[in-house]
Structure 1
Amino acid sequence: MTNRGRLTVLMAAVLALAAVATAAVLHASARADRRNEARPGGPAVTTGKVLLSPGAPRLVFRNMAWGPHRDELATVRADAPDGGRRTATATGVKCLRFYASAGTGICLQSVHGTLTDTYRATVLDARLHEKAHYAVPGIPSRARVSPSGRYAAWTAFVGGDSYAGTDFSTRAAIVDTATGELTPTLESYRIIKDGRAYRSADVNFWGVTFAQDDRHFYATLATKGSTYLVRGDMATRTVTTLHRNVECPSLSPDGTRIAYKKRVRGASADAPWRLYVLDLATMRETALAEPRSVDDQAVWSDAGHLTYALPGDYGADLYTVPADGTGSARRLLTAAVSPAYL
């Protein structure tokens, strides 16, 4: 056999081995995907039409189950999320954090660059089409939409990576989805603390939640090592402190109570929070029946229950607990995070 013939045979053998290796890798990957999709709690979902407009009660969330729809927004029936998960509908829209109300959604997204990722807040209409987007100066953390859909808010970490520590800084922004007017940071608001004007270079805000009137909101203010519940007024651009040791507030549907996470004595420094509800009329706190540390901004699923995320096998699972301190916590939906009830 000539040298050219030997080279031809060698190249053919190399190509054949490469084809076999490629096929083996693809086959193994496909089998892994099928195994992941079939794992308990990680069922497959299907692509379909999803609307954010009012209709039959639905739960929209970021899908964490392994498979082609991981990280996409998906929806299930609100009255039977576990039973309806295998018929969940995925949207094709990927969000790190999400919230929606009255046909308006806010989707905090990662934008992959050549050298580094950046982040943006995308306002979505009822058909999940982009209306506008805004640069987010750090890692997205919280997102909310006002009950009318008029305003959207988000929080991002701009230093550090956890609320549990002290080495972090946040930016909380509010946008008027009708006009596009953006308040890039609540640090531009005037602060009234303990009845007096207050200024400090270490002020941080996070965890906005809106009232029904499209004027007022609540949020967390941190300064000098303490956190406070503040009531904000978008007309006067002021925030006023109301109660101490409140983080990630969530206003009840009737506007009378605030659900929040509170740091408790004796807890681990890495898991310091417990869920509480504050009565705004009496300022009386009620500890909820969730013994674990919750690092989330809880959502009111109805007037008497809260939904929130805890770490799970796929990244996070959703749990629910009564808002009056009775009962016990139970898992609501596996492989899900960032819930919104429509």
Structure 2
Amino acid sequence: MNSLSTRARLAVTAVAALALAGVAIGYTSLSASPEPDIQSGTVTGPRLQVLSNGKLSTVSWNDPSGPREVTGQRCDRAYSAGGTTACLRPVSALKAGELAVLDSSSRETRTVPLTGFPNRTRVSGSGRMVAWTLFVDGHSYAANGFSTSTGILDTRTGTLVQSLEEFTSTVDGRPVQAVDRNYWGVTFAADDNRFYATMSTGGHRYLVEGDFAARTVKALADNVECPSLSPDGRRIAYKAAVNGDPQQGWRLSTLDLATMEVTPLAETRSVDDQPTWLDDDTIAYGMQRSDGVNDVWAVPADATGSPSVLVREANSPAPL
């Protein structure tokens, strides 16, 4: 166990809860945008889930720029799959954040209290496994000295892993127990046991493959952040730091897990998001405008074509 374990770090953060609450209002005001001019309506058929100014919403898969159903469910980040929705609820001046697990009828089935600023969440294809990442210290992956907490919940058995730092990690077959380890951006394989994530340590940001039952993670590749596994399980979409330096921004790329071949995509702007596969051919992601408003963009997964806006004034895309 690290001398500065996640449990200890979270305890320190909990002691500072009043300070966290005090900055929450300012943080929210910076991250929120004006209420978007959204055409409301009923959405039928295949759908895409997004957040509209922090509210859980759906749009038509065939007409994502058309009317959208906007609920009252507020999330800083959200993702849905297999009839399960993970909603990372915002930190407020009166309440710390939490993970809310919702069923296909939007009924709350479980909540997990969390300390930190919500940043990433994912659900396995079956809806069984839920993961999340919080910033415990700092608010950017480009900054020095940030600290994250990443956990996983098995909704079927109730098994809760508060931090991946509890798992045994290896790089090139050697155990890694450094106190600077951080994990973020989990994505699940189809078997609900294997997963991928980012681990940073010693100045490197690795793609790691995890085994939930065995409680192990092993490094597979360097300079891979916020991975997202393709529906066919063959490729990882991710953000790669330009020249290995996050302060220079990130480039969306894909990694073939069989050959380890890297393919930079046609999106050449810096993307600080965990991409989402809409299908085996298309990747979606959030981009923030200069005025602070987010849009969901899409780009082909084979480096052809060009990026285009998929859903305006939205983020956290998830195909339903």
Q: How many angstroms does 1:267 deviate by? A: 7.5
Q: How many angstroms does 1:314 deviate by? A: 5.6
> Is residue 2:81 matched to residue 1:101?
yes
Structure 1 CA distance for aligned equivalents of residues 227 and 71 of structure 2: 28
Aligned alpha-carbon RMSD (Å): 1.8
Which residue does 1:90 correspond to in 2? 70
Q: TM-score scaled to structure 1, two decimals?
A: 0.80
Structure 1 CA distance for aligned equivalents of residues 246 and 229 of structure 2: 27
Structure 2 CA distance for aligned equivalents of residues 267 and 330 of structure 1: 26
Q: How many angstroms does 1:165 deviate by? A: 1.1
Change (3 A) 1:122 1:200: same
Secondary structure in structure 2 of the residue aligned to 1:265: helix
Which residue does 2:90 correspond to in 1? 110
Which residue does 2:40 correspond to in 1? 45
Which residue does 1:31 correspond to in 2? none
Matched residues, number: 286
Structure 2 CA distance for aligned equivalents of residues 337 and 286 of structure 1: 24
Return the match for 2:55 from 62, 65, 72: 72
> Is residue 2:54 matched to residue 1:62?
no
The letter for the 1-side match of 2:255 is L
Deviation >4 Å, runs of 4+: none
Which residue does 1:259 correspond to in 2? 237
Structure 2 CA distance for aligned equivalents of residues 112 and 243 of structure 1: 37
Indicate conservation of the 8 Å contact 1:119/1:136, yes or no.
yes
Change (3 A) 1:125 1:268: closer
The letter for the 2-side match of 1:241 is A
Return the match for 2:200 from 219, 222, 226: 222
The letter for the 1-side match of 2:63 is A
Which residue does 1:23 correspond to in 2? none
The structure number with the bigger radius of gyration is 1
Percent of residue pairs identical: 48
Which residue does 1:177 correspond to in 2? 155
> Where in structure 1 are there 5+ consecutive unaligned residues?
1-35, 65-70
Structure 1 CA distance for aligned equivalents of residues 246 and 237 of structure 2: 21
Q: TM-score scaled to structure 2, two decimals?
A: 0.85
> Is residue 2:143 matched to residue 1:165?
yes
Secondary structure in structure 2 of the residue aligned to 1:187: helix
Return the match for 1:284 from 250, 255, 261: 261
Structure 1 CA distance for aligned equivalents of residues 186 and 311 of structure 2: 25
Structure 2 CA distance for aligned equivalents of residues 97 and 249 of structure 1: 16
**For structure 1, which segment, 153-162 or 87-96, has the greater mean C-alpha deviation from structure 2 after superposition?**
87-96
Q: How big is each residue's C-alpha offset from its partner over 1:273-311, in whole Å with a ceiling of 9 and x where there is no partner? A: 000000000000000000100000000001101000001
Taking the TM superposition and a 5 Å limit, the aligned residue runs for 1:171-210 are 171-210=149-188
> Where in structure 2 are there 5+ consecutive unaligned residues?
1-33
The letter for the 1-side match of 2:72 is G
Return the match for 2:227 from 246, 249, 261: 249
Q: How many angstroms does 1:268 deviate by? A: 8.0
Q: How many angstroms does 1:118 deviate by? A: 1.1
Structure 2 CA distance for aligned equivalents of residues 264 and 113 of structure 1: 37
Change (3 A) 1:240 1:142: same
Structure 2 CA distance for aligned equivalents of residues 176 and 151 of structure 1: 5
Structure 1 CA distance for aligned equivalents of residues 313 and 245 of structure 2: 26
Which residue does 1:213 correspond to in 2? 191
Q: How many angstroms does 1:80 deviate by? A: 1.7
Indicate conservation of the 8 Å contact 2:38/2:68, yes or no.
no
Structure 2 CA distance for aligned equivalents of residues 74 and 283 of structure 1: 36
Which residue does 1:337 correspond to in 2? 315
Structure 2 CA distance for aligned equivalents of residues 266 and 187 of structure 1: 24
Which residue does 1:297 correspond to in 2? 274
Change (3 A) 1:179 1:113: farther
Structure 2 CA distance for aligned equivalents of residues 42 and 195 of structure 1: 53
Structure 1 CA distance for aligned equivalents of residues 71 and 246 of structure 2: 38
